[in-house]
Amino acid sequence: MLLSAEKISKNYGMKQLLQDVSLYLNEGNRVGIIGINGTGKSTLLKILAGVEPPDQGSIATNPNIQLSYLPQNPPIQDDYTVLEQVFAEFPAQFRDLKEYEAKSMLTRLGITDYEAKMGTLSGGQRKRVALATALIHPADILILDEPTNHLDSDMVSWLEQHLRRFSGGLIMVTHDRYFLERVVTHIVELSHSKLYTYEANYSKYLELKSQREEMMVASERKRQAVLRREYQWIIRGAKARSTKSRSRIDRYEALKAQTTQEEDDTVQISNLSSRLGKKIIELSGVTKSFDDRTLIRDFSYLLEREDRIGIVGRNGVGKSTLLNLIAGKFLPDAGTIEVGATVQIGYFSQESRELDPNQRVFDFICDISNEVKTSEGTFSASQMLERFLFSSDLQYSLIGRLSGGERRRLYLLSILMQAPNVLLLDEPTNDLDIETLTILEEYLESFAGPVIAVSHDRYFLDKVASDIFEINENGTILRYSGNYSDYEENRKIEQQQAAPKKEASAQKGAPKKPQKLKFSFKEQREYETIDDDIAALEEKIAECGSEIVKAASDYVQLQTLMEQKADLEVELDDKTERWVYLNELAEKIRLQK
């Protein structure tokens, strides 16, 4: 066991975030924590990382365990260079050892100017530098808060592979459902200050949660039936005699006092669009450049009412620029953008509108509209806030006291309160919980106008998009029919077709008589000694592991030992594969005799 958290409780003001919860992390466990925004997921990570103390309970780890933590809003030194930020907490010797690896990792994450000052980077670039900082740390435990935010699809795929190879323990908060499907071994759901643990990836979790909820319903139905029967007994007994069975009455009172598990509320989004005419938006020959770099090149498209377009591409290629052009925030350098007279654009931007932390939640929504007409009727601002899970207490709280996910949800409501008939969504899945995302996806299916979404969330694009636009480095935009999975499949086919075909190595003619299988002299010697070689490697890895525990406080020696162990493990994998090949060959030789 790498970490144990027992009977943890945490209260913020009047809100109980955690109540007597426990969580255990073993080596090799990869735990994904999910739950509605504002329930305390980030707070739980802070407590597990030792950044914030619990009100009650204890956290225990082995003293030699190394822990690395990526917070949701990592601290940044604006005057540091990228590499200085990455190695800020490490001695100079560690930087000498790991600088090449750090540069390689940063490049994977789209950061190539290692001497750039942190203060000049965007919010997304800062988060990616912080992610590299957390990953470069020689750790037994990784604790990551929303690691996939601000990563494009290629970066997310790379991070998936990196974390799946990680041999320690991983705890992370993420709303990327494909990430949860492919990376985690356990899912922990935080609901009403309690933790529910499932030994499962995302799809298995959905199945197990459904079973648990069915059992809860059946159990509650049985409890109510017993209560009705016992209540009738008490009523009859009161008329028949003055004394009753004390123990039976006590059982009834205990059963009556039991509380059922609270169910999570869900966001309710009604159809909030206004009338849309025939002409929507037409782009003709649109080109846009910044600093002599063309981001959008000669792009034309006529937006249709039923369009559901997902925009993909590497970070920095111009995805947000395209949305800003459509929204009228940028003017094209060449070409035209014509917008229909009835078009009402709702633009859910990546950074979100700058919310005033000193403004009350209710006042913020009222400034947009006091009421809104939906397909279900007219709702007041307060009612709409309740439908978006803002209770009466939260409505009169300051925006600055909301969690990051709650602010994102409030911003989404502010967009929908304007009753748009065209939706532009820039990374809408960042910081939104899975429940809200599921409701949003259902809402977009029935939305009466076109939807254009920039997103790295593959699951979201599979659910929402019917066409994918890929923006390339040279500014051209390629169009693919279908959702994200269809797009990936089409890309693979294109890459295969573009690759040079191998020439046939064999000439047509009579088939040659197959040669008799046999070991070469080298293979025979290798076959005879490979079992001893594997045993020796396993012994070396065990010895290296013991040395790592002893050297936990010496960064330089620790790093050297960890690299030696990694090299030995790679060598052992190669030997094991070779063992399989040689033994299969030996069996075939035996059978042909």
Instruction: Quickly list DSSP for 166-202.
Output: --SEEEEE---HHHHHHT-SEEEEEETTEEEEESS-H
pLDDT for 248 beyond 70: no
Q: Are 410 and 234 in contact (CB under 8 A)?
A: no
The pLDDT of 295-324, averaged and rounded, is 91
- Indicate if the alpha-carbon torsion angle 506, 512, 514, 518 is positive or negative: negative
Determine the length of the chain.
593
Share of the chain above pLDDT 90, in %: 27
Q: In what order do the strands lie in the sheet with 477-481?
A: 345-348, 422-426, 451-454, 308-312, 467-471, 477-481
Of residues 295 and 251, more confidently modeled = 295
The rounded distance, in Å, linking the Cα atoms of 163 and 168 is: 10
Q: Quickly state the pLDDT bin for 504 (edges 50, 70, 90).
A: very low
More confident residue, 584 or 271: 584
Query: Within its chain, how far is the Cα of 194 from the centroid?
Result: 21
Q: What band does 236 get if pLDDT is binned at 50, 70 and 90?
A: low
Rounded mean pLDDT of 3-13? 88
Query: For 465-477, what is each residue's pLDDT tens digit?
Result: 999 999 998 899 9
Of the given ranges (37-46, 476-485, 495-504), which has the lowest mean pLDDT?
A: 495-504
Q: What is the pLDDT of residue 29?
A: 92
* pLDDT tops 90 at residue 91: no
Summarised one tens digit per residue, pLDDT across range 420-450 is 889 999 988 887 888 888 888 888 888 888 9
The per-residue pLDDT for 296 is 93
Residue 222 has pLDDT above 70, yes or no: no
The torsion angle over the Cα atoms of residues 429, 457, 436 and 129, rounded to 10 degrees, is -40
Q: Would you state the pLDDT for residue 220?
A: 66
Q: Which residue has the higher pLDDT, 66 or 499?
A: 66
Q: Which pLDDT band, with edges at 50, 70 and 90, does 47 fall under?
A: very high
What's the average model confidence in pLDDT over 29-42?
89
The band of 316, judged by pLDDT with boundaries at 50, 70 and 90, is confident
- pLDDT reading at 522 higher than 80: no
The pLDDT of residue 514 is 55
Residue 219, pLDDT score: 67
56 DSSP β-pair partners? 9
Per the CB < 8 A criterion, the answer to whether 344 and 418 are in contact is yes
**Secondary structure in 3-state letters for 305-318:** CCCEEEEECCCCCC
Phi, psi of 96 (to 5 degrees): -60, -40
Q: Higher model confidence: residue 287 or residue 16?
A: 287
In sequence order, the β-bridge partners of residue 310 are 453, 468
**Poorest-pLDDT segment among 203-207, 321-325, 542-546:** 542-546
pLDDT reading at 260 higher than 70? no
Tens of pLDDT, residue by residue over 123-154, are 888 999 999 999 998 889 999 999 998 888 88
Is it the case that residue 361 has pLDDT exceeding 60? yes
Cβ proximity of 564 and 544 under 8 Å? yes
Question: Which of 119-128, 376-385, 410-419, 460-469 is predicted most confidently?
Answer: 460-469
Environment class of 264 (CB within 10 Å of its CB; exposed 0-12, middle 13-18, buried 19+): middle
What is the reported pLDDT for 503?
45
Label residue 368 left, alpha or beta by phi (over 0 means left) and psi (-120 to 50 means alpha).
alpha
pLDDT in tens, 267-284: 556 556 567 788 899 999
Among 209-213, 228-232, 249-253, 461-465, the range with the most confident prediction by mean pLDDT is 461-465
Burial-class residue 486 by CB neighbours within 10 Å (0-12, 13-18, 19+): middle
- pLDDT at 512 > cutoff 60: no
What pLDDT is attached to residue 530? 83
pLDDT, mean of residues 160-175:
91
pTM score > 0.85 for this model? no
Q: How confident is the model at residue 326 (pLDDT cuts 50, 70, 90)?
A: very high
> Parallel, antiparallel, or unpaired for β 30-34 and 169-173?
parallel
pLDDT band, residue 223 (cuts 50/70/90): low
